Amino acid sequence: MDDAVHGEVHDDLLEDIIRDVGAESFAEGHGYENLSSDAYSPLYPGSTNFTRLSTMLRLMNLKAINGWTNKSFTELL
């Protein structure tokens, strides 16, 4: 799948997740502003395919799928 299309799919899914969980729940967790900002902040200047949040979610997904410990994940980063 093309990276631009793949990124758009993840953006749509992210918006669905935020809507399903509810902005109020995110606000109560004191992270809503950061999540909202990171959802639209490019990973690096000029990046059009990845946001800070989409990248973190992909990394956390890899951690979960592969059963990485916090220590091994931190070492990877």
Q: Which domain holds residue 47?
A: 3-76
Phi-psi domain of 41 (left: phi exceeds 0; alpha: psi -120 through 50; beta: other): beta
The 10s digit of each residue's pLDDT in 24-68 is 665 566 566 777 788 889 999 998 899 998 998 898 898 889 998
Q: Taking the model in full, what pTM does it have?
A: 0.55
Among 37, 46, 76, residue whose Cα is nearest residue 59: 76
The total number of structural domains in the chain stands at 1
The 10s digit of each residue's pLDDT in 64-74 is 899 989 898 88
Q: For the chain, what's the residue count?
A: 77
